[in-house]
Structure 1
């Protein structure tokens, strides 16, 4: 049975009439494509605003030896720096560290001269990389849930907590128009397979900072994201950080890892009903566990991780507005 064939038509969400019209007319694929087009247009516009190219000095610290790179201010990224070093650095680097203390996306432009370290999953201090990995897993889970569920399920991405890899699972909280749905083992396997397929595509994880107004336009079909945006912007000088993988766009403060290729073995282990938002919307917490591709464990050991990920993760639930604003990743 394919995902969500058991869903029946339900009463429309209690949203403004215009949102209801948009929701009925647009499929997820159409919404995703529109968001991606807005992302691309804004990314191009920001690049064109740079004007005269200024050079910055990036002092790379690491193997095979420390070196100084002359890069373009506001355009060159840590990944571009890695390209000057070797293919090995491009493929292995999951996250950058700027000036010794600031985790930085590999595809995020560098605003000024700095020192640069390229972090891998085997770096001496893996804390920042592990958090970025867990956060990326939640982001990708949102992409998979959005593309896998049928439109009749009326799935809406709600939010995901700040990453805590010690909790045993990454999370995405979503609303569904079904209060009594319990996923079958086959449905969870389908979601797991879609995560693996997405990872295998080796898609870059792109970051973009946009205005409050553009963020509202991008997420106009999602009432939860629309509600979150004003508070996010207020805390970030009117700006909202968004990410894209393929055509999927979501909100997160980041940072995230370089590419989907950094996701190795992965299982979507459970989906727990955790609350009712209104008469037509139920909140579900989807949970999964994953390892980077270079981390090899046997079936028994990974089974222990899977069983732990099946248990309800006690991370804060988005059941009231104050908690919702504080928990965004």
Structure 2
């Protein structure tokens, strides 16, 4: 069963060194040598600690509770909500309207601007609207969903290998539903060719993460703080200044889901439970650089449906087949490591 494979996966920690289909690669980079002394658990714990410290620092700056008016003009009725500036979120507003509105809301529109459901409101709102998966034009909702799937995949990958292999998440291209798959490019320090059973277990871990119903928490931090958080990841460390330059800002937008923290411009969906059916379908090597013996990045791909969107087995199998094809989305440039709007 899937659960039996999940237990086996977690207990053996993907002992790829014993698998015939894995080729261990050496790395000439000094960073890679140093990374052997790191552990995924220690890096993740430190990053989360820094995130929480910065969140608390920002919270302490809000010394007074200032009331704001939020105008809601959608179903089931128009109303004016009295909320707290820099504290209340669209999710709080939705729960005041009705539990039904709060449960189905994926994104918010705050005076016409896309807004994360758990992002604090910064002032009076003249028009608050909630977006859901059954919108007549789901373009923005679909992009947020695809982007959130990549973030969840990054979280699963960072946890799946535990401390056996030091994994560095690289990046994922801007979401494009037409490609047929969401992706994350990672550096495992080797050319890993997962079996069908290993991919199936990763799919199971995505479902487990979904079942935790974790919110996607947004936090904008100074670039120096972001660089400190990701000092153990050579890809993110290179991308962060480029992202700041592209946005003409000294700040970086981060998201937390559970114990996982990543860089993304957002917006993301409200919580992990809004992920429905999901399959991790393929893993492709991406050659990086010209140096011989340098391990490739791995492009790991998947396909998913939002919660509540049902599809028969045959139709979903067509989506899975398409998602197994190499996603030709923008490849990372290890030489320039330019930031992108993830």
Shorter-chain TM band: over 0.9
Alignment of 1:157-196 (within 5 A): 157-179=169-191, 181-196=192-207
Deviations 1:206-252 (A, max 9, x none): 11000111101101110000011111122242000011111100000
Query: Does the CA-based 8 Å contact 1:60-1:117 persist in structure 2?
Result: yes
Q: CA deviation at 1:13?
A: 5.6
Unaligned stretches of 5+ residues in structure 1:
none
Alignment pair present for 1:197 and 2:198 = no
Matched residue, 2:44: 32
Q: Could you report, residue by residue, the CA deviation over 1:94-145 in whole angstroms, capped at 9, with x for unpaired residues?
A: 1101112x11100001112122101110122211111100000000001111
Of 92, 113, 116, the residue aligned with 2:104 is 92
Counterpart position of 1:318: 332
Hey, what's the Cα distance between the residues in 1 that align with 2:162 and 2:198?
A: 13
Identify the residue that residue 61 of structure 1 maps to in structure 2: 73
Query: Normalization by structure 1: what TM-score?
Result: 0.93
Contact 1:36–1:247, Cα closer than 8 Å, also in 2? yes
1:138 and 1:172 in contact (8 A); partners too: yes
The offset of 1:52, in angstroms, is: 2.1
2:147 match:
135
Unaligned runs of 5+ in 2: 1-7, 18-22
- Give the direction of change, closer, same or farther, for the CA distance of 1:311–1:265 in structure 2 (3 Å limit): same
1:14 aligns with 2:29: yes
- C-alpha displacement at 1:20, in angstroms? 4.8
> Does 2:320 match 1:306?
yes
- DSSP 3-state at the match of 1:208: strand
Residues 160 and 328, structure 1, Cα contact 8 Å, conserved in 2: no
Kindly indicate whether residue 87 of structure 2 is the aligned counterpart of residue 72 of structure 1. no
Matched, 1:229 2:235: no
Residue 246 of structure 1 is matched in structure 2 by: 258
In the alignment, which residue of structure 1 is the partner of 2:298? Answer: 284
Query: Are 2:15 and 1:5 aligned?
Result: yes
Q: TM-score, normalised by structure 2?
A: 0.89
Count matched residues: 323
Check conservation: 1:13, 1:281, Cα contact below 8 A: no
User: Structure 1 residues 200-209 or 313-322, which shifts more?
Assistant: 313-322
Distance 1:241 1:326 in 2: 13
The Cα of 1:265 is off from its aligned counterpart by 0.3
Q: Secondary structure of 2:190's partner?
A: coil
Tell me which moved more, 204-213 or 234-243: 234-243
**2:288 counterpart of 1:273:** no
Is the partner of 2:133 in helix, strand or coil?
coil
After superposition, the Cα gap between the structure-2 partners of 1:84 and 1:321, relative to the gap in structure 1 and judged at 3 Å, is farther
Deviations 1:176-210 (A, max 9, x none): 2213x321100100110000100011011111000
**Aligned-partner Cα distance in 1 for 2:219–2:285:** 32
Instruction: Say whether the 8 Å CA contact 2:40–2:167 is kept in structure 1.
Output: no
User: How far apart in 1 are the matches of 2:190 and 2:61?
Assistant: 46
1:119 aligns with 2:131: yes
Inter-partner Cα distance in structure 2 for 1:160 and 1:15: 24
Change (3 A) 1:13 1:207: farther
Q: Is contact 1:160–1:171 with CA below 8 Å preserved after alignment?
A: yes
Q: Distance in 1 between matches of 2:140 and 2:227?
A: 30
The residue that corresponds to 1:206 in the other structure is: 217
Q: Does the Cα contact within 8 Å between 2:24 and 2:190 map onto a contact in 1?
A: no
Deviation at 1:315, TM superposition (A): 0.6
